[in-house]
Amino acid sequence: MTYDLVVVGGGVTGAGVARDAALRGLKVALAERGKPGQGTTAASTHLIHGGVRYLLYDRLTTHSSCWDAGHIVRTAGDLLTRLPILWPVYKGHTRGLETVETLFAQYDLFQPMKYGKPHLRLTAEAALKVVPGLSPEGLLGALVFDEWWVDAEALARRTLESARAAGVEVLLDSPVTAVLKDGARVAGVTAGGRELRGRITVNAAGPWIDKVTSLAGARMPLRLMKGTHLIYKDKALTPVGLLLEAEDRSRYVFVVPSPLGTWVGPTDLPGPSDPDQTRTTDDEVGYLSRSVKRYFRSWPINHDATIVGSRPILGQPGAEKLLSRDFEVFDHETRDGLPGFLTIGGGKMSDYRVMAEAAVDLACRKLGVSAECRTHLSTLDGRPVTDIPDFPTPTRRSSAFCGPSRCCASCTRCPTSARGWRSTCCAAPAASRPSATRPSSRAATVSRRRAPGTRARRAARA
Ligand SMILES: Cc1cc2nc3c(=O)[nH]c(=O)nc-3n(C[C@H](O)[C@H](O)[C@H](O)COP(=O)(O)OP(=O)(O)OC[C@H]3O[C@@H](n4cnc5c(N)ncnc54)[C@H](O)[C@@H]3O)c2cc1C
């Protein structure tokens, strides 16, 4: 039997691709070398978030993640828990209260896309009431912002179950060891000793994409950044999440209370080119534990476990903390002369659905199939999603909207879309209203560069 699509990798990305393709009516098989979500997905911080810090240098990633996070809340809501995160600001911190609040005022514009609440500013006394264990010395106040915690492995597993229910053949414990070829054309893979023949093969192996591409005789420009978390068995070492300036004063670490324990991390360091060789070092453990302990009057001396993963970041020059979390769909036909072979790389768990959409859009064009993405229209357990707000997609300038939390919550005069979203605001002074007609050339360029689907089209044209 020949499948339309053979997917390599059962992390959240591969599971998303398989589900998307099956819901469009394609015949799909997926091979995962272990269990669903066991790779980077399991080692993530488990947040469905917009990445507030990306606002500083990569606004479109924030927009895209918040936009897709809204779809994840609607389709996988039972795996998500609302997680308020408190950012305490102390005397001597690199970013003061005003700077942090300016950032969150911008973030508030995106929050409604993912059902997030606007930020709060707390006095030092109020912050200590919320997190009584925090050290009071030098505490100036805090900002609180709203994110979602997700059971990440369950997200991959349930997405895969949904894919299976839509007809996907799922092979677990089945490592892909060879890429099949008909002449130059990639014609599927050998997985767990079985041949899976496919008209299109999609490599969604996360940080292993270069290894899989190598089986076909091509290479991927991948820069692997390793990230470690410390895990404490106590599930509630803090009552809310925390974002703490780390000891090097240039990075931040999360403290995340969750059903899996309290997680502290991650680090973000250049890792080995082979993801299987990624290990936590004593330096990382010391850095994380010192970074958290200095904020608490009492904190457990020892952590109970560590977990490490590799961020599959597409090769880019620049400082580690400025690396984009952008994703790309690579067409190996135009790139490497290997028809029938696509790779999806980069990105975040928070936009896994839109990543899958871009990959399957390109696969469908190559197969000559015209079928629209349907992954946002039903929950992972198959119930219809009906109430989808009409937010601007990340293909538009991110400034071309204003959030109800800013100005339109109770306004009845502004133009309102069919789903209740107001795109202009009569309450704001004319000069500060979002302008849809005068885009700055930079914003327009970035939008075009980042648009899901557009990337895939560019890849197809390249
Ligand atoms: C420390 C850290 C923290 C992060 N925190 C967040 C966060 O809070 N929120 C967020 O949105 N994103 C976060 N990310 C990013 C996010 O985790 C990743 O973008 C996402 O999980 C990648 O999923 P994936 O499916 O592409 O890769 P993976 O989850 O790694 O899946 C790839 C799969 O391919 C399989 N595979 C590999 N080789 C083969 C083979 N030869 N044959 C068959 N199968 C194979 C692997 O077993 C694996 O299961 C974080 C990343 C890191 C490293």
List pLDDT tens digits, range 43-84. Answer: 999 999 988 888 887 788 888 899 999 999 999 999 999 999
- Whether residue 231 is contained in a domain is answered as yes
**Percent of the chain whose predicted confidence (pLDDT) is above 70:** 83
- Whether residue 364 is contained in a domain is answered as yes
- Whether residue 393 is contained in a domain is answered as no
At 92-141, the pLDDT tens digits run 999 999 999 999 999 999 999 999 999 999 999 999 999 999 999 999 99
Please report the pLDDT score of residue 317 as a whole number. Answer: 52
The minimum-distance atom of ligand 1 relative to the CA of 174 is 43
At 156-185, the pLDDT tens digits run 999 999 999 999 999 999 999 999 999 999
175 lines ligand 1 (CB under 6 A): yes
> Which region among 149-153, 172-176, 280-284, 309-313 has the lowest average model confidence (pLDDT)?
309-313
- For residues 143 and 231, membership in a common domain is answered with yes
Which CATH number characterizes residue 295's domain? 3.30.9.10
199 lines ligand 1 (CB under 6 A): no
- For residues 161 and 30, membership in a common domain is answered with yes
What is the number of domains present in the chain? Answer: 3
Which CATH number characterizes residue 18's domain? 3.50.50.60
Pocket test for ligand 1, best of 177, 327, 348 (most atoms within 8 A of CB): 348
349 lines ligand 1 (CB under 6 A): yes
The minimum-distance atom of ligand 1 relative to the CA of 225 is 53
12 lines ligand 1 (CB under 6 A): yes
**What is the CA(253)–ligand 1 centre distance, in A?**
20
Pocket test for ligand 1, best of 7, 19, 41, 324 (most atoms within 8 A of CB): 41
- For residues 142 and 162, membership in a common domain is answered with no
- For residues 317 and 433, membership in a common domain is answered with no
Q: Alpha-carbon distance 298 to 446, whole Å? A: 46
245-250's contacts with Cβ under 8 Å and 24+ in sequence apart are 245/90, 245/93, 245/94, 245/95, 246/287, 246/291, 247/287, 247/290, 247/291, 247/294, 248/287, 249/93, 249/94, 250/94, 250/321
Residue 301 has pLDDT above 80, yes or no: yes
- For residues 250 and 172, membership in a common domain is answered with no
Which residue among 285, 304, 322 closes a domain?
A: 322
- Whether residue 395 is contained in a domain is answered as no
- Whether residue 8 is contained in a domain is answered as yes
- Whether residue 461 is contained in a domain is answered as no
pLDDT level of residue 346 (50, 70, 90 thresholds): confident
325 lines ligand 1 (CB under 6 A): no
166 lines ligand 1 (CB under 6 A): no
Ligand 1: residue whose CA is nearest its atom 1? 227
End-to-end CA distance of the chain: 32
DSSP 315-375: P--S-GGG----EEEEEHHHHHS-TTEEEEEE--GGGHHHHHHHHHHHHHHHHT------T
Q: Which domain holds residue 6?
A: 2-40+153-220+325-382
- Whether residue 389 is contained in a domain is answered as no
Pocket test for ligand 1, best of 33, 40, 355 (most atoms within 8 A of CB): 40
- For residues 229 and 289, membership in a common domain is answered with yes
- For residues 318 and 234, membership in a common domain is answered with yes
pTM value?
0.87
Q: For residues 270 and 281, is the Cβ–Cβ distance under 8 A?
A: no
At 217-273, the pLDDT tens digits run 999 878 899 999 999 999 999 999 999 999 999 899 999 999 999 999 999 999 999
**What is the CA(205)–ligand 1 centre distance, in A?**
8
- Whether residue 47 is contained in a domain is answered as no
